[in-house]
Amino acid sequence: MLTNKAKYALKALAHLADYRPGQSVGIRDIAEAENIPKKFLDTILCELRVAGLVESKMGKGGGYSLARPATDISVGDVVRVIDGTLAPISCANHSPFRPCEDCRDPEYCAIRLIMLDAKIALASVLDNFNIASMRAISAAADGPFMWHI
C-alpha cells in the first residue's frame, strides 16, 4: 500500500513540475496548494533532496525546484525513495532477500512466486509513469496546463 508520505512526495513533485525549470517554490506554497502538513513536507523534501530529485535554495527567492526534468523522474523511483522496496513481502525483495521464518523452500514457495509477479507488475506500471505524465493526467482533468508565474 502506498503510504501518505509517498503520496505527498508525488503531489509535491507534480506541483513543482508546474513551474519553469529552476524556478524555486516556497515550501509553504507547496504545502498549502497540495494540502500537505508543512512539517511533514519538510521531512519529505529533505529525503527527495538527498535522493537527487529536488534542489533547494536558501534565502530570499529560495525554495525547492526539480533537480532534473519531470520526464526523468519515474513514479517508481519516488515510491522507492520514500517507501523503500515495491515488494509486498520481504521474501519477494531481491536486496536484501529475507526468506519468511516459516518457509521451507523459498525457491518453490507459491506465495513468494505470486508476490514476485505482483512486484514486477507494480514496478512495470510505476516505472512507466513519470512526474510529467502524472501532471499531464491531472491537467487533463483540471483544464489547460499553465506555468505558474
The residue range of the domain holding 63 is 1-73+130-149
Overall domain count for the chain: 2
| CA atoms of 118 and 93, how far apart (whole Å) | 11
pLDDT in tens, 76-132: 999 999 999 888 888 888 777 777 788 888 888 899 899 999 999 999 999 999 999
Q: What CATH number did the domain enclosing 135 receive?
A: 1.10.10.10
In 3D space, the residue among 134, 147, 3 whose CA is nearest the CA of residue 75 turns out to be: 134
* Whether residue 124 is found in the same domain as residue 147: no
Mean pLDDT, the chain, integer: 89
Q: Is residue 148 very low, low, confident or very high in pLDDT (cuts 50, 70, 90)? A: very low
* Whether residue 134 is found in the same domain as residue 120: no
Q: Is residue 59 very low, low, confident or very high in pLDDT (cuts 50, 70, 90)? A: confident
108-147 CB burial, b ≥16 within 10 A, e <16: ebeebeebbeebeeebeebeeebbbebbbeeeeeeeeeee
> What's the rounded mean pLDDT across residues 68-79?
96
> What's the rounded mean pLDDT across residues 121-147?
80
Any idea of the CA torsion for 29, 34, 38, 44, to the nearest 10 degrees?
-110
* Whether residue 63 is found in the same domain as residue 17: yes
